[in-house]
Amino acid sequence: MELVHSKYLAIKEESIKGRYVVNEQLLPFLEKKKQIFVVETAGKSVQGRPIKLITLGTGALKILMWSQMHGNESTTTKSVLDLINFLDSSSDQAKQILTNCTIKIIPMLNPDGAAAYTRVNANEIDLNRDAQERTQPESVVLRDIFDEFSPDYCFNLHDQRTIFNVGATAQPATVSFLAPAFNEERNLSKSRVESMQLIVAMNSTLQNIIAGRVGRYDDAFNANCVGDAFQMLEVPTILFEAGHSPKDYEREQTRHYIFQALLTGLTTIVEGKIGLYPEERYFEIPENGKSFYDVLIRNANILNETLEKGDAIGMLYKEVLTRNEIDFKVTVEKTGNLDQYFGHASFDCSVAADLEKLRQQPFYNLLTDNFE
């Protein structure tokens, strides 16, 4: 099921990269695909931007995917474009999927949020908390497609923050999954079990590529979340969370891993192999922790005398839209005893080499400021 890296590069959509992905980039790509697949405008956003829907394949198995429900979560959008390119290839695997499946993909559900690089839509509503009332036009578009298509499986595609680690380990949660709950008790239903089994299948592929870097997302029940709402309607639904890979703030590596998961999920469905993956193994995937900082400075009192001996500084990047690009602005999040935390970049001020590297960092002056 895994597509080797060289073959992945052959289908990767090179026209769209980075974190800032908007409709203006997406539309030319979809225009080219109109010659092969069905591309239509399913509706419009609050600000009148088109919400595009692409339909691939003609098979009996029906899969619905949507990405960028949160406008600033673009990694999975890039992954589904790669998937579309793959399904537009001449490989036997692509032909098998298209023959057996009908796949509907909304690459960007929240184009207004994408343009502004915000989680919410233009009315400042989180679309993933609007599943029941459906007060927003984007929520109505998704639900109308769901009702009309009546999918057998749903893939709910998101990004997650850099703070997440796998279990209690120092491994980043590069990809996380969730089989959403359908009730407060988080019981198992037929559809939720199937979701778990598909996740086990995808995890088995990813462990060959990013061993130890797959986590399980928090499964607190919320009927207003779309995944929970669709699971309540007895449709197996899977939450994908694209997370951080080492030194990959543009998430071009994570994009590849999500593509691999999507391909594995589709192939498992097509080959009728879901039952080969016991749902018990889903619970073996460690839950996400929240133990990462983007930058962790240990023994920071050497730099800043307002800190206690042995104190650390934990810093996070704030993503800021500047002239159609995302700038990563470092901010001090916490100081004190941070022994239980990890850093995507770590420096120990008691080590001369680390201290010298720190002095060369653009955020060095921030470290010497006084902290309250």
Contacting residues for 1 by C-beta, under 8 A, at least 6 apart: 205, 263, 264, 267, 268
Q: Which two tokens stand for residue 250?
A: 């543009």
Return per-residue pLDDT of the chain as tens, 372 residues: 567 778 999 999 999 999 999 999 999 999 999 999 999 999 999 999 999 999 999 999 999 999 999 999 999 999 999 999 999 998 999 999 999 999 999 999 999 999 999 999 999 999 999 999 999 999 999 999 999 999 999 999 999 999 999 999 999 999 999 999 999 999 999 999 999 999 999 999 999 999 999 999 999 999 999 999 999 999 999 999 999 999 999 999 999 999 999 999 999 999 999 999 999 999 999 999 999 999 999 999 999 888 999 999 999 999 999 999 999 999 999 999 999 999 999 999 999 999 999 999 999 988 877 665
Residues belonging to the chain: 372
* Model pLDDT, residue 4: 74
Q: Is the dihedral of CA 347, 348, 353, 358 positive or negative?
A: positive
The whole-model pTM stands at: 0.97
Domain spanning 5-289, CATH class: alpha beta
Domains of the chain, by residue range, sit at 5-289, 292-367
* Model pLDDT, residue 334: 96
Strands of the sheet containing 153-159, edge to edge, are 38-44, 50-56, 101-106, 61-66, 153-159, 237-242, 175-178, 214-216
